Amino acid sequence: MKNILVFASGSGTNAEKIIAYFDAVSEVSVQKVYCNNPNAGVIERAAKLGVGTRVFNRSAFTTEVLDELKTFRPSLIVLAGFLWKFPKQIIDEFPNKIINIHPALLPKYGGKGMYGKHVFNAIVANNETETGITIHFVNEAYDEGAIIFQAATQLTSSDTVEDIAQKTHRLEHTHFAPQIHQLLRD
């Protein structure tokens, strides 16, 4: 049995899609969702799907959470809208087992502070004709880990920040879980 731990900070739509996808896969299980925001929507989404959550603060991240991760020995740690930088201690403990999804075609629009609407605003400001998603391994630098997968979508000059967000979310919801599954097969 392969097991996944998901880290999320927000509404949790990607986490929800991942949990639902793996409900139908007998050899993979989403064991728990870790969240750094006690008011995040992901907590309720996970509960509705029968997955427990662990809310933690910054001081517990490299102590209690790291100890729990060592106990779980996950096949994969998936960042699905998790906004904190992952600590070096955890990255070193789980090399090439931590992945993230980014709402742009890296290396464009990556780095500290580039998430969600910040990315979409930059895309609009630069009149991009294409954007997409990037699934990548996590290393010590924001959005600089090895790229696993990218998918693109075309943009029009009339696309708003909200339009770009919707197009990006569709790509995330379509590709993230299957790419996780593929990684677990390799």
Indicate the burial class of 50 (C-beta count within 10 angstroms; 0-12, 13-18, 19 or more): exposed
Q: What does the alpha-carbon distance between residue 186 and residue 176 come to, in Å, rounded to a whole number?
A: 16
Residue 84 confidence (pLDDT): 95
Instruction: Give me the average pLDDT of each 10-residue run along the chain (186 residues).
Output: 97 97 96 97 97 96 95 97 94 97 97 94 97 97 96 97 97 98 94
Number of independent structural domains in the chain: 1
Distance in Å from the first CA to the final CA of the chain: 14
Q: Check residue 186 and give its pLDDT.
A: 83
Q: Give pTM, 2 decimals.
A: 0.96
Q: Which pLDDT score is estimated for 149?
A: 98
Report whether 14 contacts 173 (CB < 8 A). yes
State the pLDDT at residue 104: 98
Answer whether 34's CB lies under 8 Å from 61's CB: no
49: containing domain: 2-185
> How many Cβ atoms from other residues are within 10 Å of residue 67's Cβ?
11
User: Is 169 a residue of the active site?
Assistant: no
CATH number for the domain harbouring residue 9 = 3.40.50.170
* Catalytic member of 102, 118, 169, 173: 102
| Sign of the C-alpha dihedral computed for residues 26, 31, 37 and 41 taken in this order | positive
